[in-house]
Amino acid sequence: MMSRKASRNPRLYFTALVATSVVAISYKIYTNYFISTEDTDDNDTSKTSSETPVTYTVSKKYSNKSIAITLSSSFLSSKLPLNKILINSENMIFIIPPNLTESDLNLSYIPPNFKLLNCSNLQGYLQILKNLKPDLLLMCSDDLGINFGQIKKDLNMFIRDIINVDQNEDIITKVRPIFD
């Protein structure tokens, strides 16, 4: 009998509604506060030139695809937050080109399951790409000394999409469609 009275009592429903609303609003305020302080603590590399924040997690379009980034000097000197990309992306592969070493990367944290590949010459670089067959390749052919027009046909045999950036381009705006 007592459960019937409770189920018909409008005060009980109103109290439950208020309690859940307070919990939801408190949670929203809590998450917004901590997200905004993290954004404030981070440097401005998480924003593009139009000052729109980017989370640097792979967008839905590329979430199930393997992505290879050639860490040439243009990518390393850009404002692209490589550490955030490392932490937020599971299918990301970084390739160190022949003219750089792992110590040149200045990555503060490398996850244990992370793929970081090094090659000793240009033929080794191309062989890595051929064996990996990534769905998407981000590269700067100028940094590698490659004529992209000549090598694009060969790369397209085993790589679906290639984003080639110029040394003078803003890399963040060029790769923004890949990230949310």
Same domain for 156 and 120:
yes
Q: What is the mean pLDDT of the chain?
A: 76
Same domain for 161 and 82:
yes
- Tell me which residue range forms the domain holding 145: 60-178
Q: Is 119 inside a domain boundary?
A: yes
Residues, the chain? 180
Same domain for 74 and 8:
no
Q: Match 């040149």 to its residue by tokens.
A: 104
Q: Is 137 inside a domain boundary?
A: yes
Cβ atoms of 157 and 66 closer than 8 Å: no
- pLDDT per residue as tens digits for the range 23-78: 677 667 766 666 544 444 444 444 444 445 556 677 778 778 888 889 888 888 88
Same domain for 174 and 138:
yes
Same domain for 65 and 35:
no
91-105, 117-131, 153-167: range with lowest mean pLDDT = 91-105
Tell me the two tokens of residue 155.
Answer: 């790369």
* Count of helices and strands (H, E) across the chain: 8, 5
6-10, 46-50, 94-98: range with lowest mean pLDDT = 46-50
Q: Is 50 inside a domain boundary?
A: no
Same domain for 76 and 8:
no
Number of domains in the chain: 2
Q: Is 107 inside a domain boundary?
A: yes
Same domain for 64 and 34:
no
